[in-house]
C-alpha cells in the first residue's frame, strides 16, 4: 500500500514531460511533471497535455502493489483514458485524451514504449474526434514541437 504521493513541478530527466518513481522502502511515490517545458511546448493548450502526462504517470502505479509498474501498452492506455474521463470535466478530459492518443501514436519513435497496435489507437482517435467534435487543427496548432515530432515520425505529411 502506498503511504504518500508527492507531485513536483519539475522533471529530473531532460527529454521527458514527466516520470514517476516508487520508493519501496518508504512506500511512497514521487511524480515529476515538467510544467515549464509543457508550458513552453504547448502554450495555451498546456493544461490538456499536462493532465495527460499526470494521468499517464499515475496509471503506471496500478501495478505498484505487486512490486512493479504498469508498463506502456494497451492496458496502460485504457487505465489512463478512464482515469482522465472519470476524474475531469469533459471540456478538459476530451482534449487530454486526444493528446494521450497522439502520444501513443508516437510510441514507435520513443524509447521505452512498447508498441501498441497503431490501428487500435487510430480507431480510438477517430472515435474521440468524431464523437466529441475535436478541433484537431486547434490542438495540433498549439504546439510546433508536437507537429515537428509527428512529421519526423511519419505520422503527419511533410
The residues, ordered by sequence, that sit 6+ positions from 106 with a Cβ below 8 Å of its Cβ are 113, 149, 150, 153, 155
96-106 per-position pLDDT tens digit: 999 999 999 88
Q: Name 121's bridge partners.
A: none
pLDDT in tens, 65-91: 666 778 888 888 999 999 999 999 999
Question: What pTM, to 2 d.p., does this model score?
Answer: 0.89
At 91 the pLDDT is: 96
Amino acid at each position: 500500500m502506498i503511504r504518500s504521493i508527492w507531485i513536483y513541478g519539475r522533471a529530473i530527466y531532460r527529454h521527458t514531460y514527466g516520470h514517476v518513481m516508487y520508493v519501496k522502502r518508504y512506500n511512497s511515490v514521487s511524480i515529476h511533471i515538467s510544467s515549464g517545458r509543457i508550458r513552453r511546448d504547448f502554450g495555451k493548450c498546456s493544461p490538456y497535455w499536462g493532465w495527460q502526462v499526470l494521468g499517464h504517470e499515475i496509471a503506471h502505479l496500478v501495478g505498484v502493489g505487486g512490486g512493479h509498474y504498469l508498463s506502456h501498452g494497451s492496458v496502460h492506455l485504457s487505465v489512463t483514458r478512464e482515469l482522465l474521463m472519470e476524474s475531469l470535466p469533459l471540456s478538459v478530459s476530451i482534449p487530454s485524451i486526444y493528446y494521450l492518443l497522439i502520444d501513443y501514436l508516437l510510441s514507435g519513435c520513443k524509447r521505452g514504449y512498447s508498441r501498441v497496435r497503431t490501428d487500435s489507437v487510430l480507431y480510438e482517435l477517430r472515435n474521440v474526434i468524431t464523437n466529441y467534435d475535436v478541433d484537431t487543427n486547434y490542438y495540433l496548432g498549439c504546439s510546433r514541437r508536437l507537429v515537428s515530432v509527428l512529421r519526423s515520425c511519419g505520422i503527419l505529411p511533410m
